[in-house]
Amino acid sequence: MPKRSSSSLNPKAPLVLDTRELPRRPGALRTVKRVVQAPADLGGELIGVPEGTDLDLDLRLQSVSEGVLVSGTVSGLVRGECGRCLREINDSVAVNVQELYAYEDSTTDETTDEDEVGRMQDDLIDLEPALRDAVVLALPTNPLCREDCPGLCPECGVQWDDLPADHSHQQIDPRWAGLSQLTRTEE
Ligand SMILES: [Zn+2]
Ligand SMILES: [Zn+2]
């Protein structure tokens, strides 16, 4: 198996976890509680975590024989647009993370694909890809401001919520009202 080049991760990046403090002895545990700035494009096209807003990391790093198991929650704000009425959605999201990152040159490293099991780079773990997947999964593909959002009137584009219950574009010009009455009687 070809050797990967040495770590390209920046230990100061917000979603890079440094495990130097964590003894490589199965069972050893460290917690990571910190608030970091959300990276760009965390989420989907219609809804996601705005770049630079606070992400709350509440994680456990646990040494296992083949690497480090990262588990816990990451939470933050989400902003998006209602797919029906285009109103802005402001909400929050909390995702559970549970990922194994294999030590370089461990059996897991040699016998699994990087897509299946994450890899450590030296003592560093890049949480961003796993977090990105978890956030995308947690967010709706068709975000709605509320479950029963009635959307927009297709004729005038005004939100149904802001229109009277009898709003309609079928109103007849008063000058023709009489004629219409006539037609109807004939039918
Ligand atoms: Zn809506
Ligand atoms: Zn209308």
**Using one digit for the tens of pLDDT, what is the confidence trace for 39-77?**
999 998 899 999 999 999 999 999 999 999 999 999 999
Residue corresponding to tokens 């939470």: 75
pLDDT tens digit sequence for 121-147: 999 999 999 999 999 999 999 999 999
Question: What pLDDT score was predicted for residue 2?
Answer: 46
Same domain, 180 and 103: no
Residue 102 CB burial class (10 angstroms; 0-12, 13-18, ≥19): buried
Domain match, 129 and 164 both: no
Ligand number, closest to the Cα atom of 80? 1
Ligand closest to 83 (CA) is 1
Q: Are residues 178 and 132 in the same domain?
A: no
For 84, residues 6+ apart whose C-beta sits below 8 A from its C-beta are 144, 145, 149, 150, 151, 152
Do 63 and 134 fall within a single domain? yes
Mean pLDDT of the chain: 89
Indicate if 129 and 162 belong to the same structural domain: no
Whether 5 maps to a domain, the answer reads no
pLDDT at 114: 84
Same domain, 122 and 171: no
* Structural domain for 28, as ranges: 16-138
Residues 163 and 131 in one domain: no
- pLDDT at position 144 is 95
Task: Let me know: does 119 contact 102? Beta carbons within 8 Å.
Answer: yes
For the CA of 170, the nearest ligand: 2
- Domain assignment present for residue 51? The answer is yes
Question: What single DSSP character describes residue 152?
Answer: B
Q: What is the pLDDT of residue 172?
A: 65
Q: How far is the CA of 187 from the centre of ligand 1 (A)?
A: 41
pTM over 0.95: no
pLDDT tens digits for range 151-182: 999 999 999 999 998 999 876 666 666 655 55
Residue 177 Cα to ligand 2 middle (Å): 20
Asked whether residue 131 is domain-assigned, the answer is: yes
Q: How many domains does the chain have?
A: 2
